[in-house]
Amino acid sequence: MHRAQIILEEWQHEALKSLAEREGKSISAVVRQILTAKLGRRKSKKLESIMGIGTGSDISGRDHDRALYDDP
């Protein structure tokens, strides 16, 4: 995680504080929850590029170099 400092309007801080208290969470947890809902969870481009490479019937666990590095 990364630490971030933001400036909020007074009403925003009060709303976050109230929501956090109602949900039994910290203000930071509520902000992360809101950001995740708005932005979605980002996948790693590297992981995304190899997703599904082992789904073919012509590949096995022993073939990982070929699948990952196009090494024959």
Could you identify the residue written with the tokens 């995304």?
48
Mean pLDDT of successive 10-residue segments in the chain (72 residues)?
Answer: 94 97 96 92 64 64 66 56
Q: What is the pTM of this model?
A: 0.56
Q: Are 30 and 23 in contact (CB under 8 A)?
A: yes
The pLDDT of residue 1: 86
The pLDDT of residue 23: 96
The pLDDT of residue 50: 65
| 24-42 residues labelled b (16+ CB within 10 A) or e (exposed) | eeeeeebbeeeeeeeeeee
The pLDDT of residue 19: 97
Amino acid at position 72, single letter: P
